[in-house]
Structure formats: C-alpha cells, structure tokens
Amino acid sequence: MRQIRHRDAVALAVLSSSFLLAGELVNQDIPNVYEKYILQSGALNNPGFLILIVALIILGFTTYFGGVFVLLGGLHFSWGRVGRGRFLVGLGIGVSLIGLVSRLAQALLVTGTPLTAIIPYTTSLTGLGILFGIVSHTLMGQYALLLKKHAKRVWRRWRKAQPEPDERSRTPPARSSRRTARGARR
C-alpha cells in the first residue's frame, strides 16, 4: 500500500466535502424544487424551458458542486499533485462561499437583515465544511508545506539526538591534550 504524502490536508478535504454535501442533503430542498419547478410548471413538455429550469436549479445548489470539487481536490492531494488539488479545493470553497453570499443577499433583500440566513447557515454542517475546506487549502500553501517539512526535519533531528536512557557508553571519554591541531604540529 502506498503512503499518502499529505494526510492532514487529505483528511480535512474529505471532512469538508462530507460536511458540505451533508449540509445540503439535510435541507431536503431537492424533492420540493423538483416537484414545484419541474413537474408543476410543465417544463417536461418544453425541452428549452426544461434546460433553463435545470440550469437555474443547478446554480441554486452550488454547495453540492463545492463539495464535489473539494473532494476531487483532496484526491489530488493524496496523489501528490498539490497545485491541482489546491485549485480544486479553492474552487469548491469559492463556489460554496458564492452560495453563502447569494443567501445573504436574498435574506437582506427580503427581511432587511442578513442574520436570518447567516446564523442557520454558519451553524450547520455547511458552515463547518467551508471552515475545514479553508483550513485544508491553507495547509497546502507553499509556506505551510515548507513549515511542515522543516518541522518534520527538526523532529527527526531531535529524536536522533536523544540518548537512550539504558545505553551508557562503555568506552571512557576521549582525553584531549587541549592542544589544537595547529599547536600539535609545532
């Protein structure tokens, strides 16, 4: 079995994707939208109108696509393709944030305050998904990769430098004449 190089970012991307998808599945909006906008509107009889309605429904559920893109980005992280994975995670989080901004704008226009939309959205699984996605995207940045590599190197050096408590050297320490190499040559 092959070792996954960036396990922390992969795990956070998978968590983010699952939270984004689960946050939208909990709403149970898809059956209602299908019944109201496709069946009752008569869009099944008119193919052009059906394509328009389906396109608008897809734009309405942008968080689903965000979750899929974040999951694909995590897959690319596990393959070691950091640049492509970061792009896909950023795209997924961006699409999800666009969904958040559209809900905020709608709530502001309808109720006059964005709190009616932001509180349920940020305290749900979708809000956690966006948060984990941002952390995963940040972890795979160039500076973060450099820090992870440096921290791993420091940890390994520290582990090698620690003497084993039971192992004591049986040879006496080397005695020096306290003369430098230059002084010994004279």
Tens digits of residue pLDDT in 82-97: 888 889 988 988 888 8
Pairwise pLDDT comparison (149 vs 181), residue with the higher score = 149
Average pLDDT of every residue of the chain = 78
% of the chain exceeding 70 in pLDDT? 80
CA atoms within 13 A on the CB side of 99: 27
% of the chain exceeding 90 in pLDDT? 0
Query: Which pLDDT score, from 0 to 100, does residue 50 have?
Result: 85
| Whether residue 61 has pLDDT greater than 80 | no
CA distance 28 to 72: 24
| Whether residue 1 has pLDDT greater than 50 | no
The residue-averaged pLDDT of 2-23 equals 79
| Whether residue 71 has pLDDT greater than 50 | yes
> Closest Cα to residue 19, out of 84, 92, 118?
92
Query: For 112-145, how does the pLDDT look when each residue is reduced to its tens digit (9 = 90+)?
Result: 888 887 887 778 888 888 888 888 888 777 756 7
What distances in angstroms separate CA 79 from CA 7, 84, 101, 151, one per listed residue? 11, 10, 32, 22
User: 38: Cβ–Cβ under 8 A, 6 or more apart, which residues?
Assistant: 44, 50, 53, 54, 57
Two structure tokens written together for 65? 């696509």
